[in-house]
Amino acid sequence: MWMVNVRSPHGGRRLALGLFAFFLAALFLFPGQSQGLLEYLDGPVGQLVRLPLEAVSSLDKGISGLWGDYVALQGMAEENRRLRQDIEWLRGQNNQLREAAASTERLAALLQFKEQALPAMVAAQVIGRDASNRYRAVILNKGDSDGIQPDMGVITPSGVVGRVVKTTGATSVVLLVTDPNNAIAGLIQRTRDEGIVEGTPQGRVRMKYIPMLSGVRDGDRVVTSGLVGGFPRGLAIGTITGIDKEEGALFQTAELAPEVDVNHVEEVLVIQSPQPQSVEPEAKPAGGGKSRP
């Protein structure tokens, strides 16, 4: 066992340092208890130690408060994450409801137009588009079993979409008005001049065979003339946006802006044109004479 010689200057200094270190350790390890104990002490020592002790106690409370705030923030972050997930889910539901409402509005407009129109019509939905780029066509979810036949006109309440060119039992292929292979008899409403409306290789629409003496101009509306089967008279096709009048040509050609955006159409009406009834000739008696009673 070793002893400290307090009489020597080095021994007294070591003892003082040891006591001071022990005292500081007690202050830091038990700040609350030490402060309560020193409140009973008076004199220079209590006043000297009170200030650092209060600082240590305040620091301890501050650290405890910061830790509590950190834990609370972690909980709020988790709650915010869950709320963001709920918001994304609600947005998805809202988009689906909006799409369903828009589809319902379009179908209601089709049915209303169908009731007002004179020809019999069949409502159908677009379920496919030509992916080969050879033709500009769409596929409908109605076919032979629904009374749809080739050459029937296809429209929306806004105007002409195209013409049925092929059918199966449950589907139909519609050649769009923008396809070069499609031709529809058109009528310029203002001038009453007639021509043929067809598509172009660039996916636009033009009207050919307009008389050279016609006063057609930009902004004139073109409708179906009703002279060719499939479309009744007066259905909107488009609006003239430009006129090509070549020198020496026999006819004018006009560029049209289609009334219907056929690239985004989703529901259509197929016009069921009445089929002509065949009339059987009366049977004549043999020999060409009148039959005797």
Residue 270: phi, psi to the nearest 5? -100, 125
Q: Which CATH number fits domain 121-272: 2.40.10.340, 3.40.50.261, 1.20.1270.10, 3.10.105.10?
A: 2.40.10.340
pLDDT at 276 over 50: no
What was the pLDDT predicted at 246? 82
Over residues 64-68, the mean pLDDT reads: 68
What mean pLDDT, rounded, does the chain reach?
Answer: 77
Given a contact cutoff of 8 angstroms between Cβ atoms, the answer to whether 271 and 230 are in contact is: yes
What was the pLDDT predicted at 26? 64
Nearest CA-CA partner of 156 in 195, 125, 185, 131: 125
DSSP summary character for residue 273:
P
| Domain extent listing, the chain | 9-116, 121-272
Does the model's pTM come out above 0.75?
A: no
Beta bridge partners of 204: none
Question: 177-236: per-residue pLDDT in tens?
Answer: 999 999 999 999 999 999 999 999 888 999 999 999 999 999 999 999 988 778 888 899
pLDDT at 13 over 70: no
